Structure 1
């Protein structure tokens, strides 16, 4: 058996680097670890942290193909973040003109959750602690 310690990071390819950079930093509140421009690939790589822990690599590439989010398809389904207060989270998102789905209750845990979409329609879940 493999002894996995934790999820190291999640890599996301975006279609509009500045829009996605703004979303992940200014809306979700992730912090920049480092930003690198890779000239040979005409690509940015932005390493982002959540509460000091490295979590997301945000990549830009010239003309990446779209990946469908709906209907749901095989592959990574969504990215989920735990929040302390879902109502406050939804209110903040609404203040940034980001619409969320109606709040639902997880049938297994009885916890509340909702979804939004990032600038490329990647589903992002907020799950109340």
Structure 2
């Protein structure tokens, strides 16, 4: 469930084994596993997470209830090495990409103008050819 303008996400659920190796244990689990994620930044890159997790660890240990709070940082990358790039390097690479895009756009404009010039010359030659008296 999402709350507070999609900043707070509440997840409630439990884990279960398909083969159910602990079929004879008591079902005293009143509170399910709960996880709260609160986005600290609008883009969701930084979040605060609080959780409560119940696990059955066997006959000797019984139920273990794990609770915790943590900070979650989410990074998007295409290559593993991108995670470790500094801000200066990221900015340098961004400027290089922009320069390449600008150069490509300028070349495309230049090519378009050249095509238009050739088309005008061809049209002028056709018109000149059509205006000449026949032989």
Q: Please confirm whether the aligned pair reaches a TM-score higher than 0.5, indicating the same fold.
A: no
TM-score (norm: length of structure 1): 0.21
Higher RCO, Cα 8 Å, sep 6+: 1
TM-score (norm: length of structure 2): 0.21
The structure with more helix, counted as a fraction of residues = 2
The structure with more strand, counted as a fraction of residues = 1
Question: Who wins on radius of gyration, i.e. which is larger?
Answer: 2
